[in-house]
Chain A
Amino acid sequence: QQPVQSPQAVILREGEDAVINCSSSKALYSVHWYRQKHGEAPVFLMILLKGGEQKGHEKISASFNEKKQQSSLYLTASQLSYSGTYFCGTDSNTGNQFYFGTGTSLTVIP
């Protein structure tokens, strides 16, 4: 039931774009995205609710395809501060248990 993220790791140069995918085997009500820097707690980025909406936060946006039970996080013109591990979190329609994905390590280099 843990969502699967891809890729597991990615290295970017400043200014490049990246896409992180999150796929679940269960129908989803919502998808959260969090970023965790080394030695720190995860920090909320955005939440997408059932309805296929797309959200954005500065140069980070995300989409939610409920039919495919997938979400994608888009990082454009990456900055050094984007480095960290990105987790998706999903809330299924069976009991509302919340599961975090397997994580994607993103490193932005100068």
Chain B
Amino acid sequence: KAGVTQTPRYLIKTRGQQVTLSCSPISGHRSVSWYQQTPGQGLQFLFEYFSETQRNKGNFPGRFSGRQFSNSRSEMNVSTLELGDSALYLCASSKSAGGYNEQFFGPGTRLTVL
């Protein structure tokens, strides 16, 4: 069974630009969560999608948004990039929503904002 895939793996952007990251979950998984990982803040929850609906959203500004498609693939978008947005963005898929199922993480997208 193929794992979670994320594209692109690396991105370099400049302040003010916007970026879209993609995540393809494990086949059959309907929940996708996004996390931001930085050395200082650890793993911070961004949002969770299940059946194309956002179930939960973390404490991030509105510049961070996401969506999920009918095939469970998910994208997240960051507009008006700031230097502090430089981080590893991880997505994780699970069979269903909530905290009762293990999460399988993708390799992440390393975003650098210059």
Q: Interface on B for A, CB 8 Å cutoff?
A: 33, 35, 42-45, 48, 55-56, 58, 90, 92, 97-108
A interface, over-half SS: strand
Contacts of B56 in A (CB 8 A): 95-98
Bound-state CA distance A97–B99 (Å) is 8
B interface, over-half SS: strand
Contacts of B105 in A (CB 8 A): 34, 41-43
Contact with B along A62-91 (1 / 0, CB 8 A): 000000000000000000000000010111
Indicate if the CB atoms of A47 and B102 lie closer than 8 Å.
yes
Q: Interface on A for B, CB 8 Å cutoff?
A: 2, 29-30, 32, 34, 40-44, 47, 49, 87, 89-91, 95-103
Contacts of A97 in B (CB 8 A): 45, 56, 58
Contacts of A43 in B (CB 8 A): 105
